[in-house]
């Protein structure tokens, strides 16, 4: 819709392989340096796989 921020679907996967899907603002991902294949751990560390 007009005026809304672009959103993307993000897949979260825990250590047991359980997946959850979220819709988040693309800007959030850009600000945090997240891209396709990025891994963001519970303690906030970011790494590329």
More confident residue, 6 or 46: 6
The pLDDT tens digits for 10-47 are 888 888 999 999 999 999 888 888 888 888 777 766 66
**Confidence at residue 32, expressed as pLDDT on a 0 to 100 scale:** 83
Domain-by-domain residue ranges, the chain? 7-48
**End-to-end Cα distance, the chain:** 34
Residue linked to tokens 């921020």:
5
- 30 within 8 A of 17, measured Cβ to Cβ: no
Q: What six digits make up the tokens of 13?
A: 């996967």
């Amino acid at each position: 819709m007009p005026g809304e921020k672009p959103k993307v679907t993000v897949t979260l996967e825990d250590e047991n392989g359980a997946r959850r899907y979220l819709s988040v603002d693309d800007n959030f991902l850009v600000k945090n340096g997240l891209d396709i294949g990025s891994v963001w751990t519970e303690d906030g560390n970011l790494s590329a796989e």
